[in-house]
Amino acid sequence: MSEQPLRCSGAIRPEEENLYDRRILEEVKLEEWAKVVFDPTLSVDDPGEGLFIRPLRRSDYNKGFLQLLGQLTSVGDVTEDQFRETFKKMKSSPDTYFVTVIEDVNTGDVIGTTTLFIEQKFIRGCARRARIEDVVVNDKYRGKQLGKFLVIVLVLLAKSLGCYKISLDCRDTMIPFYESLGFSKEPQNGNFLKSQKKNA
Ligand SMILES: CC(=O)SCCNC(=O)CCNC(=O)[C@H](O)C(C)(C)COP(=O)(O)OP(=O)(O)OC[C@H]1O[C@@H](n2cnc3c(N)ncnc32)[C@H](O)[C@@H]1OP(=O)(O)O
Protein backbone atom coordinates (compact mmCIF):
# COMPACT_ATOMS: atom_id res chain seq x y z
CA MET A 1 0.00 0.00 0.00
CA SER A 2 1.58 3.32 -0.96
CA GLU A 3 1.54 6.31 1.38
CA GLN A 4 -1.81 8.06 1.50
CA PRO A 5 -0.77 11.70 1.80
CA LEU A 6 -3.05 13.44 4.27
CA ARG A 7 -3.14 16.93 3.01
CA CYS A 8 -5.08 20.05 3.80
CA SER A 9 -4.88 22.90 1.28
CA GLY A 10 -1.74 21.37 -0.24
CA ALA A 11 0.17 21.02 3.05
CA ILE A 12 0.45 17.97 5.31
CA ARG A 13 -1.70 18.64 8.38
CA PRO A 14 0.59 19.11 11.40
CA GLU A 15 -1.14 16.30 13.30
CA GLU A 16 -0.39 13.93 10.42
CA GLU A 17 3.28 14.85 10.30
CA ASN A 18 5.56 11.80 10.13
CA LEU A 19 8.47 11.48 12.56
CA TYR A 20 10.75 10.65 9.62
CA ASP A 21 10.48 10.46 5.86
CA ARG A 22 8.50 7.33 4.94
CA ARG A 23 10.31 7.02 1.61
CA ILE A 24 13.24 5.36 3.38
CA LEU A 25 10.89 2.57 4.50
CA GLU A 26 9.76 2.09 0.91
CA GLU A 27 13.39 1.29 0.02
CA VAL A 28 13.42 -1.70 2.41
CA LYS A 29 13.15 -4.98 0.51
CA LEU A 30 12.52 -7.95 2.82
CA GLU A 31 13.54 -10.45 0.17
CA GLU A 32 17.10 -9.14 0.56
CA TRP A 33 17.23 -10.70 4.05
CA ALA A 34 17.46 -14.35 3.12
CA LYS A 35 18.00 -15.43 6.76
CA VAL A 36 14.29 -15.00 7.57
CA VAL A 37 11.40 -16.34 5.54
CA PHE A 38 7.91 -14.83 5.61
CA ASP A 39 5.14 -17.25 4.81
CA PRO A 40 2.88 -15.82 3.52
CA THR A 41 5.12 -13.16 2.03
CA LEU A 42 4.98 -9.72 3.63
CA SER A 43 6.44 -6.47 2.36
CA VAL A 44 6.50 -2.79 3.29
CA ASP A 45 3.92 -2.24 0.54
CA ASP A 46 1.76 -5.07 1.88
CA PRO A 47 2.25 -6.04 5.53
CA GLY A 48 -1.11 -7.82 5.60
CA GLU A 49 -4.78 -7.23 4.84
CA GLY A 50 -5.78 -3.72 5.94
CA LEU A 51 -2.42 -2.96 7.56
CA PHE A 52 -0.07 -0.07 6.84
CA ILE A 53 3.51 0.41 8.10
CA ARG A 54 4.66 3.98 8.56
CA PRO A 55 6.63 6.34 10.82
CA LEU A 56 5.02 7.46 14.08
CA ARG A 57 2.73 10.46 13.62
CA ARG A 58 1.85 13.27 15.99
CA SER A 59 -1.79 12.11 15.83
CA ASP A 60 -0.89 8.62 17.11
CA TYR A 61 -1.49 9.82 20.66
CA ASN A 62 -5.18 9.32 19.83
CA LYS A 63 -4.66 6.05 17.96
CA GLY A 64 -3.73 3.86 20.89
CA PHE A 65 0.06 4.14 20.53
CA LEU A 66 0.73 4.57 24.24
CA GLN A 67 -1.84 1.90 25.19
CA LEU A 68 0.02 -0.45 22.86
CA LEU A 69 3.33 0.34 24.58
CA GLY A 70 1.50 -0.46 27.80
CA GLN A 71 1.45 -4.11 26.66
CA LEU A 72 5.26 -3.99 26.83
CA THR A 73 6.00 -1.95 29.93
CA SER A 74 4.80 0.77 32.26
CA VAL A 75 4.02 3.96 30.30
CA GLY A 76 2.61 6.23 33.00
CA ASP A 77 0.12 9.06 32.53
CA VAL A 78 1.53 10.81 29.47
CA THR A 79 -0.49 13.87 28.46
CA GLU A 80 -0.99 14.85 24.83
CA ASP A 81 1.25 17.88 25.40
CA GLN A 82 4.03 15.64 26.74
CA PHE A 83 3.61 13.31 23.79
CA ARG A 84 3.80 16.19 21.29
CA GLU A 85 6.82 17.73 23.03
CA THR A 86 8.63 14.38 22.95
CA PHE A 87 7.72 13.89 19.29
CA LYS A 88 9.12 17.38 18.56
CA LYS A 89 12.36 16.61 20.40
CA MET A 90 12.80 13.35 18.51
CA LYS A 91 12.06 15.01 15.21
CA SER A 92 14.61 17.75 15.90
CA SER A 93 17.35 15.04 15.94
CA PRO A 94 17.20 13.83 12.34
CA ASP A 95 18.49 10.33 11.56
CA THR A 96 18.27 9.31 15.22
CA TYR A 97 14.76 8.15 16.15
CA PHE A 98 12.90 5.88 13.76
CA VAL A 99 9.76 5.06 15.73
CA THR A 100 7.79 2.88 13.34
CA VAL A 101 4.22 1.67 13.65
CA ILE A 102 1.73 -0.62 11.95
CA GLU A 103 -1.77 0.82 11.68
CA ASP A 104 -4.94 -1.17 11.11
CA VAL A 105 -6.50 1.19 8.57
CA ASN A 106 -9.96 -0.27 9.16
CA THR A 107 -10.01 0.68 12.84
CA GLY A 108 -7.43 3.48 12.73
CA ASP A 109 -5.57 1.85 15.63
CA VAL A 110 -1.83 1.49 15.97
CA ILE A 111 -1.38 -2.25 16.50
CA GLY A 112 2.38 -2.72 16.33
CA THR A 113 5.47 -0.67 16.92
CA THR A 114 9.21 -0.72 17.32
CA THR A 115 11.95 1.88 17.44
CA LEU A 116 15.30 2.06 15.74
CA PHE A 117 17.62 4.34 17.70
CA ILE A 118 20.80 5.38 15.93
CA GLU A 119 23.73 6.51 18.00
CA GLN A 120 26.48 8.60 16.44
CA LYS A 121 29.96 7.50 17.60
CA PHE A 122 33.50 8.85 17.27
CA ILE A 123 34.95 5.34 17.09
CA ARG A 124 35.31 3.37 13.88
CA GLY A 125 35.78 6.55 11.88
CA CYS A 126 32.74 8.33 13.33
CA ALA A 127 30.47 5.38 12.60
CA ARG A 128 26.89 4.89 13.68
CA ARG A 129 25.43 1.98 15.63
CA ALA A 130 21.80 0.99 15.94
CA ARG A 131 19.63 -0.30 18.74
CA ILE A 132 16.22 -1.86 18.34
CA GLU A 133 13.90 -0.97 21.20
CA ASP A 134 10.29 -1.30 22.33
CA VAL A 135 9.03 -4.07 20.08
CA VAL A 136 5.36 -4.77 20.71
CA VAL A 137 2.40 -6.15 18.78
CA ASN A 138 -1.16 -5.79 20.09
CA ASP A 139 -2.11 -9.12 21.64
CA LYS A 140 -5.09 -9.46 19.26
CA TYR A 141 -2.73 -9.35 16.27
CA ARG A 142 0.04 -11.65 17.48
CA GLY A 143 1.08 -14.77 15.61
CA LYS A 144 0.75 -13.11 12.17
CA GLN A 145 4.51 -12.52 11.66
CA LEU A 146 4.13 -8.83 12.53
CA GLY A 147 6.72 -8.83 15.33
CA LYS A 148 9.19 -10.54 13.05
CA PHE A 149 8.27 -8.13 10.23
CA LEU A 150 8.82 -5.01 12.35
CA VAL A 151 12.22 -6.19 13.59
CA ILE A 152 13.49 -7.22 10.15
CA VAL A 153 12.28 -3.99 8.53
CA LEU A 154 14.28 -2.03 11.10
CA VAL A 155 17.35 -4.27 10.75
CA LEU A 156 17.34 -3.61 7.01
CA LEU A 157 16.73 0.09 7.59
CA ALA A 158 19.73 0.23 9.95
CA LYS A 159 21.87 -1.53 7.36
CA SER A 160 20.76 0.84 4.63
CA LEU A 161 21.67 3.75 6.93
CA GLY A 162 25.19 2.33 7.23
CA CYS A 163 25.14 1.20 10.88
CA TYR A 164 28.09 -1.04 11.74
CA LYS A 165 26.30 -2.80 14.61
CA ILE A 166 22.66 -3.55 15.42
CA SER A 167 21.80 -4.75 18.91
CA LEU A 168 18.97 -5.04 21.42
CA ASP A 169 18.33 -5.98 25.03
CA CYS A 170 15.63 -8.45 25.97
CA ARG A 171 14.46 -10.82 28.69
CA ASP A 172 15.80 -14.38 28.62
CA THR A 173 12.41 -15.68 27.46
CA MET A 174 12.64 -13.57 24.31
CA ILE A 175 16.07 -14.86 23.24
CA PRO A 176 14.66 -17.64 21.00
CA PHE A 177 12.49 -15.08 19.19
CA TYR A 178 15.46 -12.83 18.39
CA GLU A 179 17.76 -15.76 17.62
CA SER A 180 15.23 -16.85 15.00
CA LEU A 181 15.66 -13.40 13.44
CA GLY A 182 19.45 -13.67 13.17
CA PHE A 183 20.52 -12.10 16.48
CA SER A 184 22.99 -13.90 18.70
CA LYS A 185 24.55 -13.37 22.10
CA GLU A 186 28.04 -11.89 21.84
CA PRO A 187 30.52 -14.41 23.29
CA GLN A 188 31.96 -13.12 26.59
CA ASN A 189 29.94 -9.92 26.25
CA GLY A 190 26.44 -10.99 27.20
CA ASN A 191 26.13 -8.94 30.37
CA PHE A 192 23.51 -6.27 30.71
CA LEU A 193 24.40 -3.95 33.58
CA LYS A 194 22.12 -1.24 34.83
CA SER A 195 22.61 1.42 37.44
CA GLN A 196 20.78 0.86 40.69
CA LYS A 197 17.78 3.13 41.23
CA LYS A 198 18.70 4.04 44.80
CA ASN A 199 21.95 4.22 46.71
CA ALA A 200 22.21 0.91 48.55
C1 LIG B 1 13.94 -5.33 22.24
C2 LIG B 1 12.57 -5.50 22.86
O3 LIG B 1 11.73 -4.62 22.74
S4 LIG B 1 12.17 -6.93 23.71
C5 LIG B 1 10.44 -6.84 24.05
C6 LIG B 1 9.62 -7.76 23.18
N7 LIG B 1 8.20 -7.40 23.32
C8 LIG B 1 7.39 -7.91 24.27
O9 LIG B 1 7.76 -8.75 25.09
C10 LIG B 1 5.97 -7.34 24.29
C11 LIG B 1 4.91 -8.43 24.32
N12 LIG B 1 5.02 -9.35 23.18
C13 LIG B 1 4.71 -8.98 21.92
O14 LIG B 1 4.35 -7.84 21.63
C15 LIG B 1 4.78 -10.05 20.85
O16 LIG B 1 4.58 -11.31 21.43
C17 LIG B 1 6.16 -10.08 20.08
C18 LIG B 1 6.48 -8.69 19.54
C19 LIG B 1 7.27 -10.52 20.99
C20 LIG B 1 6.02 -11.08 18.93
O21 LIG B 1 5.05 -10.59 18.06
P22 LIG B 1 4.20 -11.57 17.08
O23 LIG B 1 3.67 -10.70 16.01
O24 LIG B 1 3.24 -12.37 17.84
O25 LIG B 1 5.36 -12.52 16.57
P26 LIG B 1 5.46 -13.22 15.15
O27 LIG B 1 4.08 -13.68 14.74
O28 LIG B 1 6.18 -12.34 14.22
O29 LIG B 1 6.35 -14.47 15.52
C30 LIG B 1 7.41 -14.85 14.71
C31 LIG B 1 7.98 -16.12 15.26
O32 LIG B 1 8.50 -15.91 16.58
C33 LIG B 1 7.89 -16.84 17.48
N34 LIG B 1 7.65 -16.13 18.73
C35 LIG B 1 6.76 -15.16 18.96
N36 LIG B 1 6.83 -14.75 20.24
C37 LIG B 1 7.79 -15.50 20.82
C38 LIG B 1 8.32 -15.55 22.12
N39 LIG B 1 7.86 -14.78 23.11
N40 LIG B 1 9.32 -16.43 22.36
C41 LIG B 1 9.78 -17.27 21.38
N42 LIG B 1 9.31 -17.25 20.11
C43 LIG B 1 8.32 -16.38 19.86
C44 LIG B 1 6.59 -17.23 16.82
O45 LIG B 1 6.18 -18.50 17.28
C46 LIG B 1 6.97 -17.27 15.37
O47 LIG B 1 7.64 -18.45 15.06
P48 LIG B 1 7.49 -19.15 13.60
O49 LIG B 1 8.01 -18.14 12.62
O50 LIG B 1 8.32 -20.37 13.73
O51 LIG B 1 6.02 -19.39 13.46
Q: Determine the pLDDT at residue 35.
A: 79
- The preferred substitution site among 73, 141, 142, 167 for testing ligand 1, maximizing ligand atoms within 8 Å of CB, is 142
**ipTM of this predicted structure:** 0.96
pLDDT in tens, 56-68: 999 999 999 999 9
Q: State the Cα–Cα distance between residues 16 and 62, nearest whole angstrom.
A: 12
φ/ψ of 137, rounded to 5, equals -120, 135
Give the mean model confidence (pLDDT) for residues 179-188: 91
Give the mean model confidence (pLDDT) for residues 9-38: 81
Question: Which residue minimizes the CA distance to atom 37 of ligand 1?
Answer: 177
Identify which of 98, 105, 35, 110 has the alpha carbon closest to the alpha carbon of residue 68: 110
Which ligand 1 atom is at minimum distance from the Cα of 132? 1
- The preferred substitution site among 30, 148, 151, 183 for testing ligand 1, maximizing ligand atoms within 8 Å of CB, is 148
Question: Which residue minimizes the CA distance to atom 26 of ligand 1?
Answer: 145
Which ligand 1 atom is at minimum distance from the Cα of 134? 3
Using CB distances shorter than 6 Å, the residues near ligand 1 are: 71-72, 132-137, 142-148, 168, 170, 174, 176-177, 180
Q: What distances in angstroms separate CA 141 from CA 42, 48, 99, 102, 161, one per listed residue?
A: 15, 11, 19, 11, 29
Which ligand 1 atom is at minimum distance from the Cα of 138? 14
Q: State the Cα–Cα distance between residues 151 and 198, nearest whole angstrom.
A: 33
Outline where DSSP puts E strands in the chain: 7-8, 11-12, 51-55, 97-104, 109-120, 128-137, 165-167
Give the mean model confidence (pLDDT) for residues 152-174: 96
Give the mean model confidence (pLDDT) for residues 133-147: 98
Q: State the Cα–Cα distance between residues 153 and 44, nearest whole angstrom.
A: 8
pLDDT in tens, 103-125: 999 999 999 999 999 999 999 99
Task: Provide CB contacts within 8 A for 80, sequence distance 6+.
Answer: 61, 62
- How many whole angstroms from 177 Cα to the centroid of ligand 1? 6
For residues 114 and 154, the answer to whether their CB atoms sit within 8 Å is yes
Which ligand 1 atom is at minimum distance from the Cα of 170? 4
Q: Determine the pLDDT at residue 13.
A: 58
Report angle CA 38, 40, 159 to the nearest 5 degrees.
30
- How many whole angstroms from 143 Cα to the centroid of ligand 1? 7
What is the CATH code for 10-179? Answer: 3.40.630.30
Q: Determine the pLDDT at residue 199.
A: 62
